Every structure is written in C-alpha cells, then in structure tokens.
Structure 1
Amino acid sequence: MKRSTVIDPQALRGAAGSAVGALKVLANEDRLLLLCQLSQGEMCVSELEEALDIHQPTLSQQLGVLRNEGVVSTRREGKNIYYSVADSSMLEILALLYRLYCPKEE
C-alpha cells in the first residue's frame, strides 16, 4: 500500500492563507470582471467603465481594493491612470476560471 505524503502543517497553513486572500479578492463580481478585462491588457478607468458598464464610484472603489491588495499596478500617462494585473498567480487563476466558466466561442 502506498503511503500518503505528509505536508508540513505550518507551510500548508501559510499557503491556505494566501489562497483565501486571493479567493476573497475574486469573490466580488465587479472585481472579478475588472480582473478578467485587465488580464487582456492594461486599461484606464474610462475604458474600463465603458467596457464593463461599471459606474465610476463602484469602479474606483473596487480598483482601490485591487490596488491595496497588490493585485493591480498603475501607471500615469497625462491625466489617465492605467491599470494592469500585477500578480502573475492571479492571471493563472483567472485563466482557469475562464476555461471553466466562460462561454466557449463557436
């Protein structure tokens, strides 16, 4: 009989904490939509508002959450602030969610 590998509980707890943090960020529909759109490339607030039909107050609030969590980064160009996904592991999670839940193109 094959023995199971024992995982260090402290290491597992740390990894679980990181996973829970990522899942909490993704557990909001507006944030998930923003990240899905940003996974395709950087965009400014007005472009995100138009593409996703999320209005300015909600958009700014959710982008603030993503920025505070270190999930997105920003760069300023003139009056515009451009957002992009900064966390490569988040891109992998988004790709998996896309494969599992998004409609297949015919």
Structure 2
Amino acid sequence: MALPQLSPDLNDDELDRIADKAATASNFLKAISHEGRLMILCHLVTGEKSVTELEELLAARQAAVSQQLSRLRLEGLVIPRREGKTIYYRLADDRPRKMLECVYELFCQDD
C-alpha cells in the first residue's frame, strides 16, 4: 500500500479524508504508546485472557490493569466478555497484531 501523496492540487474532500485518517491513526498510536497497554496487547495476541490472568502475567495490580484495559476498550482495540464474575478480554480486530509485528520488526530483531 502506497502512502498518500500530499500535494497542493488535492481538493478539500481529499484533504479532509486524509486528515480524518490521520486523527484515527493518532488516537490508535496514543492508545498503544503506554508500556502497560502494549504488554496487554502482546498477551492478547495469543488469545483471550481474564483480567486476573493479565494481572499475573504483568505482575501488576488489578486497578492498574483495569485502567489500561479501559483505555484499550475505549479505543476499540479490545472487547470484553463476562462469564459470571470473571471478565475476559480479546483483541477486537487484527490492527494490534499487525502493529505488534511492525514493532517487533523495528525494535526486537537483531541486526
């Protein structure tokens, strides 16, 4: 996929569409820019997890995990499911997985 070419000859509708997409991308990047949220997404790539499981995996307090999950839910990146008293979370779509693959390629592979 090619990046959009910004040029003076773009009409207002095209510029508005690009600006809307930029705002959406910016919100997505803000949502994943926290280490805790990024780690939650990493764990959810392998499948649905309960809040308790995420607390244990992250060695974090329930309040901290719930706060980060709330932000991810607000941005539409995770979906909750309640089973009795337990709440499970899963990825809402493939965007986080694609982003994590990109981050891994950029920052985690050896030279």
TM bucket (normalised to shorter chain) is 0.7 to 0.9
Contact 1:22/1:90 (8 A) holds in 2: no
What is the rounded CA distance, in whole Å, between the counterparts of 1:12 and 1:64 in structure 2?
28
Gapped regions of structure 1 (runs ≥ 5): none
Shift of residue 103 of structure 1? 5.4
SS of the residue corresponding to residue 87 of structure 2 reads: strand
What is the rounded CA distance, in whole Å, between the counterparts of 2:70 and 2:63 in structure 1?
11
Q: Which amino acid in 2 is paired with 1:14?
A: D
Q: State the Cα RMSD in Å.
A: 1.7
> 2:62 corresponds to which residue?
56
Map of 1:1-80 to 2, 5 A cutoff?
6=7, 8-80=14-86
State the Cα deviation string for residues 44-64 of structure 1 (Å, max 9, x = none).
011111111121111111111
Tell me how many residue pairs correspond in the alignment. 100
Q: Which amino acid in 1 is paired with 2:74?
A: N
Contact 1:30/1:54 (8 A) holds in 2: no
Shift of residue 87 of structure 1? 3.0
Would you identify which runs of 4 or more consecutive aligned residues in structure 1 move more than 6 Å? Answer: none
TM-score (norm 1): 0.83
Shift of residue 82 of structure 1? 0.7
Tell me which moved more, 73-82 or 22-31: 73-82
Tell me which moved more, 56-65 or 93-102: 93-102
Gapped regions of structure 2 (runs ≥ 5): none
TM-score (norm 2): 0.80
Contact 1:25/1:66 (8 A) holds in 2: yes
